[in-house]
Structure 1
Amino acid sequence: MKLLANSIFTKAEIEQFRNDTIGCTYVNHLNNAGAALMPNVVTDAITAHIKLEAEIGGYEAAAAKADAIAEFYELAARLINTKPGNIAFTASATDSYIRALSAIPFVAGDIILTDCDDYISNQLHFLSLKKRFGVDIVHIKNAAAGGVDLADLEAKLYELKPRLLAITHIPTNSGLVQPVNQIAAIYAKYSQESGDKTWYILDACQSAGQMKLDVQQLQCDFLSATNRKFLRGPRGSGFLYISDKALQGRLEPLFIDMRGARWTEKGQYEQQPDAKRFEDWEFAYATVVGSAEAIRYCLAIGEDRIWQQVKQLSAYLRTRLASIPNVRMLDKGPELSSSVTFTVANSSAEYLVKRFLQHNINVVSSYREFAVIDFDQKQVEWAIRVSPHYYNTVDELDALVDCLAGF
């Protein structure tokens, strides 16, 4: 196994990560921004809970594993530096985002202020709100180096006083890491001076598990995350952070159910006091215990170490890909994430993905409709996204590069 000169992890550590991950035996998995390979401890927890449900019943299994289920909230809170009562379990980052978005008290003429590199589903949500409720969508200009122009963000906040500020920490397609700490400072100052009209949702779909997150520092009112990506948890699981400010402001999802509220009288109900008000009664408890194990595994390794390794691997890959004729690198930003995006002249996304699969290499294609603003600025119709994680090896990255060079 070849190591980078400045590798954060030793050969023995990387071998242990791979031994912990059965999928590494079968594939060169470089689609971690889609869904990472789960560690064996995660799949073991999930299958054990499903087996228990089969043996004693679903409700009874949840009751028997109440302590393990409660651990999810404690571990997720530790992951982002908050309290368990500020965490809601959800089915995905999009599910989290919708629940937060539905809690914002929009009226006609309200403004959503967002970045130009937002996740496709978020933009579709905004357009739906515009069509249904008459809100306006305003985009923050991008800086020359990529990412939001902080001066334009600050000016638009004070000028427009939007109902919602929505930022995607790491977009799907551009490798970009938004300057969220500077955004937090601007938003905190604005909120202190301008009251509480504006709410702030941070989409951490790609950043949770890839880097350390601290909601106290990020100053967001909501943070949405998924567990299937860099946290290496199961599909069908995510979580939503709801700040004390939002809870005390009595924000609630549009369709609150019996998990989130008590039906106290014929014509009224009472909210749950904590983040449980953003949950539904029914979800797959096997994914809850699996997600707890995934977060535990991440925390044991250390988010800072993971982030440094991921940055080194992706930087190495960008350098090697850039040396191949006809390859055009698409990543842009003062800080770049695991997501490495590129296009190839005289080829197609479908052809490339299929050829990589023939060599047991997992990547994913992305298209203009997934990121209209970003792709139009770059004048491309498609891209290939490669997203290494800390358990990937230099040999696996070299195999992808060699494979592409040989097409």
Structure 2
Amino acid sequence: MPAAASRTGTPPPGELDLDRVRRDTPGAADQVFLDSAGSSLPPSPVLETVIAHLRREARVGGYRAANERAADLTAIPETIGKLINAPADAIALSDSASRAWTDFGYAVPLTAGDRLLFSTSEYASNAIALLHRAKSSGASVEPIPADATGRIDLDALNRMLDERVRLISVVHAPTNGGLINPVREVADLAHQVGALVLLDACQTTGQLPLDVAALDVDALSATGRKWLRGPRGTGFLYVRPELIAELEPAGLDLHSATWTDDADYTLAAGARRFEFWECDVAARLGLGVAVQYLLDLGPDLVYRAIAALAARLRAGLAELPRVQLRDLGVEQSGIVSFTVTGVDPDQVRDRLRDAQITVTVSRASSTRLDMRRRGLPAVVRASPHCFVTSDDVDRFCRTVARM
């Protein structure tokens, strides 16, 4: 297996600068951190940006401090656009992936008889929002069957499609394992009947290549706190530019619209209509720095390092007789899910924590259809980012073996 990254001197061309990444991640020095699918360790430039702005607000007030960073704030959508191949005015900044997802999902007009489809690996927040919209509009919500690998069954989807399908929600990678769904193939089928595709990229933005033009999705929601290594309370929404003018968000304020007449208003141009004026300015600045940090490192190098570490982790766990890997799919992401025979997932997490190893537990309540189908109440989830070393992974596997 190729090394995930170099740790000696200047890295050779085409290899991640792990020395730099480790220096910039002091939180990784005294632990094995394997929870970037939950909330990752931010690099030092992100932390310093957020703290510096909070200190500036304390000295001069929030308005003046924000005005001083107006150019940097304006540049954040452009920076994100470079990462996902989108124009800046197609990106709205948000406070979470769930908020971004619902901002789009609630803007899609629905009437009685419309159909909403979602994958069996759907995240609970998305499913709840779909059910809520269906209840208020008279639409129906239907799961798309999974194929033998756990991915969206494209043949089954094709049979389900008709002109009543308004929206298809696709989880790119679920929260409970390494599955990756076939996004472009779903989009191609959906667009044949005029359905919109909303991609939940919460678990893939920052760990897998994302090109919204190549994927041909109509919208994409993402968070800052996971694989992007940004602050909590940040996220973004991408909306296909030619679609924006057709949508009116469920909520508006004086940022997303202008009060143009006593009894009328005009929506903001571009995806800004999905933003509200009030926000955590320090956190948004941190998000911009986090995305730029990834761009500076080289996204492909980061993605490759994550994939190599996850593969090493899976290989190590596969050698342990009482461990069952629970990942589905053909290609797999940097999320590794497993169980240990005779040991509750919470106990596995806690024993690892006692050994200064951080993982988390993913429960059936988050991905109800998939976990119920497989009879899994919970799994242990390990998710290595590029600041993790091969030695860290080996230490993790040895600790699990001792259980």
Give me the TM-score of the superposition, normalised by structure 1: 0.94
Q: Distance in 2 between matches of 1:107 and 1:258?
A: 28
Q: Distance in 1 between matches of 2:164 and 2:133?
A: 18
> Residues 227 and 233 of structure 1 are in contact (CA less than 8 Å); yes or no, is this contact kept in structure 2?
yes
Q: Distance in 1 between matches of 2:392 and 2:4?
A: 17
Which amino acid in structure 2 is aligned with residue 401 of structure 1?
C
Shift of 1:228: 0.6
Deviations, residues 258-310 of structure 1 (Å, cap 9, x unaligned): 11001112221100011111001100010111111100111112222222221
Partner SS, residue 324 of structure 2: strand
Aligned to 2:208: 211
Shift of 1:115: 0.9
Matching of residue 180 in structure 1 with residue 183 in structure 2: yes
Matching of residue 154 in structure 1 with residue 127 in structure 2: no
Shift of 1:235: 0.5
Partner SS, residue 369 of structure 1: coil
1:5-404 correspondence runs (5 A): 5-12=1-8, 13-157=17-161, 159=162, 161-188=164-191, 190=192, 194=193, 196=194, 198-249=195-246, 251-404=247-400
Partner SS, residue 380 of structure 2: strand
Which amino acid in structure 2 is aligned with residue 138 of structure 1?
E
Q: Distance in 2 between matches of 1:308 and 1:344?
A: 28
Shift of 1:156: 1.9
Which amino acid in structure 2 is aligned with residue 9 of structure 1?
A
Q: Distance in 2 between matches of 1:187 and 1:109?
A: 17
Q: Distance in 2 between matches of 1:199 and 1:186?
A: 10
Name structure 2 gaps, 5 residues minimum. Answer: 9-16
Q: Distance in 2 between matches of 1:138 and 1:72?
A: 36
Deviations, residues 186-207 of structure 1 (Å, cap 9, x unaligned): 334x1xxx4x4x2221110011
Call closer, same or farther: CA 1:180–1:234 in 2, change over 3 Å: same
Q: Distance in 2 between matches of 1:117 and 1:318?
A: 21
Shift of 1:172: 0.5
Residue-pair matches, total: 395
Shift of 1:161: 3.4
Q: Distance in 1 between matches of 2:145 and 2:207?
A: 26
Q: Distance in 2 between matches of 1:225 and 1:150?
A: 24
Partner SS, residue 106 of structure 2: helix
Partner SS, residue 307 of structure 2: helix
Give me the TM-score of the superposition, normalised by structure 2: 0.95
After TM superposition, what 4+ stretches of structure 1 lie above 3 angstroms from structure 2? Answer: none
Shift of 1:160: 5.3
Q: Which has the higher helix share?
A: 1
Name structure 1 gaps, 5 residues minimum. Answer: none
Identity %: 34
Which amino acid in structure 2 is aligned with residue 184 of structure 1?
A
Which amino acid in structure 2 is aligned with residue 86 of structure 1?
A
